[in-house]
Amino acid sequence: MEQERAAPESRVVILGASNKEDRYSFKAFNFLREREFVPVPVHPRIREVGGVTVFPSLDDPGIREGGPVDTVTLYVNPAVVEENVAAIIALKPRRVIMNPGTESESAREALEAAGILVLEACTLVMLRTDQF
Average pLDDT of adjacent 10-residue blocks, the chain of 132 residues: 71 98 98 96 97 97 95 98 98 98 98 98 96 94
Q: How would DSSP label each residue in 34-93?
A: HTT-EEEEE-SS--EETTEEPBSSTT-HHHHHT----EEEE-S-HHHHHHTHHHHHHH--
- The pLDDT score that the predictor gives to residue 1 is 42
Domain ranges of the chain: 11-128
Output the pTM of the full model: 0.94
- The pLDDT score that the predictor gives to residue 68 is 97
Cα 102–106–111 angle (5° rounding)?
85
Cβ(71)–Cβ(95) below 8 Å: yes
Q: Domain spanning 11-128 has what CATH number?
A: 3.40.50.720
Task: Give the integer Cα–Cα distance in Å for 18 and 75.
Answer: 9
- The pLDDT score that the predictor gives to residue 7 is 76
- The pLDDT score that the predictor gives to residue 48 is 97
Query: For the segment 10-29, what is each residue's pLDDT rounded down to a tens digit?
Result: 999 999 999 999 999 999 99
